Amino acid sequence: MNKIACVGDRDSVRGFMAIGFDVFTADTVSEAEKTVKKLASSESGYPIIFVTEEFYNGMPKVIEAYSEKAIPAIISIPGKNGSMGTGEAAIKALTEKAIGADIALNT
């Protein structure tokens, strides 16, 4: 069975333990970056790694290094302070890349 990791500050990620995710806390971007690199290694067994937006936005080189690979999928999630729009922007960019146009509807 594949494992799912969640990296972020303690308050933002501790709830993910209740649904079976392996939770890794960090206090700084540097700590989060080291954890993501370790989890992304092929022997770790984490095909999906969720990272709070605050840390995700602070490690663009790491995110870029894994962006073209299918595994692991590194996905931003909102932290305790709410969404910063990172996840939505990433999905929009991937959609535009896949179909060649922005299909967002303004409501």
CATH number of the domain residue 19 falls in:
3.40.50.10580
pLDDT band at 95 (very low <50, low <70, confident <90, very high): low
CB 43 within 8 A of CB 3: no
The reported pLDDT for the residue numbered 26 is 95
Q: How many domains does the chain contain in total?
A: 1
Specify burial of residue 19 (Cβ count, 10 A radius: 0-12, 13-18, 19+): exposed
Residue 75 and residue 19: Cα distance in Å, rounded?
17
pTM for this structure?
0.77
Task: Let me know if residue 52 belongs to a domain.
Answer: yes
Tell me the two tokens of residue 64: 């870029």
Q: Is residue 106 part of a domain?
A: no
pLDDT at 44: 75
21 domain residue, yes or no: yes
pLDDT in tens, 40-63: 987 777 999 999 999 999 999 998
Asked, for residue 37, whether it belongs to a domain, the answer is: yes
CA distances from 60 to 2, 9, 38, 81 (A): 26, 18, 16, 20
Q: DSSP letter at 60?
A: H
Whether the Cβ atoms of residue 29 and residue 58 lie closer than 8 Å to each other: yes
C-alpha pair distances (Å), 35 with each of 10, 86, 92, 101, 106: 14, 20, 27, 35, 38
pLDDT in tens, 55-88: 999 999 998 888 888 788 898 888 777 666 666 6
Residue 36 lies inside a defined structural domain of this protein: yes
Task: For residue 39, tell me if it sits in a domain.
Answer: yes
Is 29 a member of any domain?
A: yes
Q: Domain containing 30: what range?
A: 4-99
Q: Would 104 be classed as within a structural domain?
A: no
Asked if pLDDT for residue 89 goes beyond 90, the answer is no
pLDDT at 106 over 60: no
